[in-house]
Amino acid sequence: MSNRKITIRSTRDGRNWGDAKERSLGEQGEYQKRVIVSRLGMFRNGAIRIRNSSPVVAPLLGLLARTSPAGN
């Protein structure tokens, strides 16, 4: 199977989505692959959309968001 990819987009208002950021999920059998996406910007009450390019299920096992108080 070819290199599988995911696409990540973010929105601040639920209508206008930012540019898509594409990342590799790795080759089939590459189970320890980590996907890191940065520079999604600052927002409150926003949303993130993650799409998988593969017809095979790719479970999302965790999500980490680094946050800081506004103004820092």
Domain boundaries, the chain: 4-52
Burial pattern 27-65, b for ≥16 Cβ within 10 A else e, equals: eeeeeeeeeeeeeeeeeeeeeeeeeeeeeeeeeeeeeee
Model pLDDT for residues 23-59, shown as the tens digit of each residue? 988 887 787 888 888 887 777 788 888 888 877 776 7
Write out the two tokens for 13. 């208002």
Instruction: Return the CA Rg of the chain.
Output: 14
> In the prediction, which pLDDT does 70 show?
66
Contacts of 24 (CB under 8 A, 6+ apart): 3, 4, 5, 33, 35
How distant is the alpha carbon of residue 31 from its chain centre?
17
